[in-house]
Amino acid sequence: MKWILSISIMASFMIACNGQNKSEEQEMDLEVKKTEEQWKQELTPEQYYVLRQQGTERPHTGEYNLHFEEGVYTCTGCGAELFSSDAKFESHCGWPSFDKALDQNTVVEKLDRSHGMIRTEIVCAKCGGHLGHVFNDGPTKTGMRYCINSVSLGFEAEKEEGKTESEK
């Protein structure tokens, strides 16, 4: 009898700690909807791992970790504008950090119970791609630290008024 109880407790724990599941993604009203096969064809293996499988890139390896040009950071999966360079700061955590999203409707916060932790996952509101996590330990006025995988981001540099990139 004890082993039946142990098995059902373990099963309940595994279900509760599983984090995201496809039904949650289906509940989101996503503007960009693609099959997993389409995502695999359009994204690099690393982008697919992070954006579609809730993976994480190694710290201090991402293109945008120590990147401080002026412009807008976009979603690699769909091109949605997510974060302004004005919100970016160096947090020394190894991933690009921002203190707020560009707009409250650009990212969606979801409870993440994976890996035995309770965190807040951030996904793109347009395509549902995993971006990273948000924590309430930021050093700026907002107190937030959006810790984002570089591989989830693209970047559009701010253009000088009236000049093209080649005229700068």
For the chain, what are the domain ranges?
A: 29-158
Annotation says 78 is catalytic: no
CATH of domain 29-158: 2.170.150.20
Confirm if 140 and 86 have CB atoms less than 8 A apart.
no
Confirm if 91 and 62 have CB atoms less than 8 A apart.
no
Confirm if 75 and 126 have CB atoms less than 8 A apart.
yes
- How far is residue 40 from each of residues 10, 47, 55, 77, measured CA to CA in Å? 33, 9, 14, 11
pTM of the model: 0.79
For residue 29, the model assigns a pLDDT of: 82
Residues 45-59 pLDDT 10s: 999 999 999 999 999
Q: Which residues of the chain have pLDDT under 70?
A: 1-27, 161-168
